[in-house]
Amino acid sequence: MPRWKALEDPGARQMGLLRRVFESRPFTLLVPDRELVVEGPSGRGVTVRAARASDGSFAFVYSPRGERFTVDKSAIPGRRVGEIWWDPRCGVARHFHATDDAGFQTYTPPTSGRGMDWLLILESEAARFPLPGALTPASRRSVSSSALTLSSGTTWSSPAVPERSSS
């Protein structure tokens, strides 16, 4: 497939969505955390993976097939922990719960099966992060400096706002 055609592929769009999620948090603090997920599927292509900020302010838990898993929430310090499902296929975040609980919690993603991956975001509410995937002023500056024109004539000036090209 030619490069210009690949840019219109759903996976290319989803990478832009993923970038926005990472830019909505201090992602350079993320480190893999094998102890955060205490129970869940493991094996070729189904293992639930986790990464936690080194300061403990947030964690990402990725379920490649939307299967049920259990997390030790004590890794996220703070009085209240926010729980957010993020859909990597369309970039939609759903804040579904906040709790004072610091124990083990079992999560079942909204959908499951092949192609139904989900990202669970756990965060200290004291950190006051924006909704995952929302453009922050810093990320707006970084994406507005580069535009991408697709073969269809659509120019993307940010991952969220397409404009028609004048040519």
- Look up the CATH number of the domain holding residue 76: 2.60.40
Give CA angle at 57 (26, 29), nearest 5°.
35
Tell me, yes or no, whether 92 lies in a domain: yes
Tell me, yes or no, whether 144 lies in a domain: no
pTM: 0.74
In this structure, are residues 28 and 22 in contact, taking their beta carbons and an 8 Å threshold? no
- Residue 18 belongs to what domain range? 3-134
Query: What is the distance between the alpha carbons of residues 63 and 121, in angstroms, rounded to a whole number?
Result: 11
Tell me, yes or no, whether 145 lies in a domain: no
Predicted pLDDT at 165 = 41
Predicted pLDDT at 134 = 58
Tell me, yes or no, whether 51 lies in a domain: yes
As a whole-number percent, the residues of the chain with pLDDT over 90 amount to 39
Tell me, yes or no, whether 164 lies in a domain: no
What dihedral angle (degrees, nearest 10) is formed by the CA atoms of 76, 81, 87, 93?
A: -130
Tell me, yes or no, whether 81 lies in a domain: yes
In this prediction, the residues of the chain whose per-residue pLDDT falls under 70 are 7, 10-12, 101, 133-167
For helices 137-144 and 10-23, the axis angle rounded to 10 degrees is 140
Query: What is the distance between the alpha carbons of residues 28 and 15, in angstroms, rounded to a whole number?
Result: 17
In this structure, are residues 119 and 86 in contact, taking their beta carbons and an 8 Å threshold? yes
Tell me, yes or no, whether 35 lies in a domain: yes
* Span 93-105, pLDDT tens digits: 888 888 876 789 9
